[in-house]
Amino acid sequence: MKARITAHKSFVIGDIDRRLYGSFIEHIGRAVYGGIYEPSHETADDQGFRADVLELVKKLNVPIVRYPGGNFVSGYNWEDGTGDKARRPRRMDLAWMATETNEVGIDEFQEWARRANTEVMMAVNLGTRGADDARNCVEYCNATSDTYYANMRRANGFEKPFGIKVWCLGNEMDGPWQICQKTAEEYGRLAAEAAKVMKWADPDIELVACGSAHRNMKTFGQWELTVLDHTYEHVDYLSLHQYYDNRDDDTPKFLGRAEEMDEFIKSTAALCDAIKAKKKSQKTLSLSFDEWNVWYHSQEQDKSLEKWTVAPPRNEDIYNFEDALLVGTMLMTLQNNCDRVKMACLAQLVNVLAPIMTENGGKVWAQTIFYPFMYGSAFGSGTTLRAIVESEKYVSSAKREIPYLATSVIYNKEAREIVVYAVNRSLDEAMELDVALEGFEGCRLIEHIELYADDLKAINDKDTARVTPCHVDLRDDGQIILKKHSWNMLRYKIGE
């Protein structure tokens, strides 16, 4: 099988915002307790954070991490996670039917983020609470004034503000699973008023309004139009969430799901632009795809979890090799829509639907999905070029035409490099790939990284890393071969 990628220096999609490579830590399962935080662990630092986990998080180089939810935030009192730990309340977490000890809150998480070399994307509770608590939280985190919540932060030992610049106005508020679900009209009004007072408290923050919980919601489309009618001039981003699964064990269909993701992004951008036109606005709204991943492996086992325990092993998907292929193509889709998607969060970061897994008191390891994300974050900076792809296609069981080749092409002017990410979706045939990079002087291939496993269901665990990247020897004749069902990164150096 042969395929060709053509990209020209003059034809660009947009510049990549580094926050496209963000992630997510929610108070769910072992994401916090036993994940990033375990004071009794042998690697724990002076704050109780696992140093072995921090090391892997730094390898992923995530620039922003959404916190503290997620469904959890719609019933969360942010003050519970501040001040003296001995006086913090234990609460029933109705989102995940667990007990929240509040041993970790914003006081601790902002410090963890600093140690992880990342920023915080803070979410406020617009479920059980509202605009008043949202603006108070902004004051606590960011204000320099001699006022109640700023002084409360100082009394808790933090003279310097946390400086959190990105804030989510609730989470998935049209979902019937959400604590205090809202209609689009109810949420739109509340989000607009919360946005106003939050920006009055700190004019420099950026705000994310909730889009519909996912594309298959009955509310999708009308929700966006109604919410944005209220919030358009007050917010900076609209959120998208989407997870995919392979419950029916239909791998060709599964590997093509990123095509649906692309349609979802473009549809949501069109809805934003419809409101822009209606309001005669000069502002183009950006998108925040702040939950995306594969999710289905753990759903059956989670049904047997005991209620009201602390940090139960919930949503601990063990990812296989085909999951890594889809995650790789989903990340390419985000890169190829970087003109509108400015932030995104792989959901989540540790233990819960995560690239990083731990055992309590024990080891930490990288799951299969770790590697496409790591290489995307490490080398996917710069400008996405509008690549023309010539590839054979197959028709999936969902009646979609899927190109065997998925790709994104990124030009890093500062590094004088072009990076081509490529997935061969064929389950049977290797692909001979021709890459034409036009408008650049003296491009030469300097590195080919490949992620491949013959067994699509292969996993990594605490003892064995069955799926890891390798360097492919470059051929003298310049020919590029992509193995069947493989993820690849090709790095080109541009001549002086």
Active-site residues, by number, are: 172, 291
- Cα–Cα dist 300/450, whole Å: 33
User: Token digits for 331?
Assistant: 């990340």
Q: State the SS3 of the chain.
A: CEEEEEEECCCEEEECCHHHHEEECCCCCCCCECCCECCCCCCECCCCEEHHHHHHHHHHCCCEEEECCCHHHHHCCHHHHCCCHHHCCCEEECCCCEEECCCCCHHHHHHHHHHCCCEEEEEECCCCCCHHHHHHHHHHHHCCCCCHHHHHHHHCCCCCCCCCCEEEECCCCCCCCCCCCCCHHHHHHHHHHHHHHHHHHCCCCEEEECCCCCCCCCCCCHHHHHHHHHHCCCCCEEEEEEEECCCCCCHHHHHCHHHHHHHHHHHHHHHHHHHHHHHCCCCCCEEEEEEEEECCCCHHHHCCCCCCCCCCCCCCCCCEHHHHHHHHHHHHHHHCCCCCEEEEEECCCECCCCCEEECCCCCEEECCCHHHHHHHHHHCCCEEECCEEECCEEECCCCCEEECEEEEEEEECCCCEEEEEEEECCCCCCEEEEEEEECCCCCEEEEEEEECCCCCCCEECCCCECCCEEECCCCCCCCEEECCCEEEEEEEECCC
Q: How far is CA 58 from CA 52, 172, 356, 461, in A?
A: 10, 29, 11, 20
Q: ∠ CA(263), CA(372), CA(37), 5° rounding?
A: 105
User: Token digits for 13?
Assistant: 């999609």
Closest Cα to residue 294, out of 252, 332, 322, 333?
322
Provide the 10 A C-beta neighbour count for residue 274.
15
Closest Cα to residue 377, out of 19, 81, 44, 68?
19
Q: How far is CA 130 from CA 124, 143, 193, 237, 455, in A?
A: 8, 19, 9, 19, 49
Q: ∠ CA(19), CA(24), CA(27), 5° rounding?
A: 155
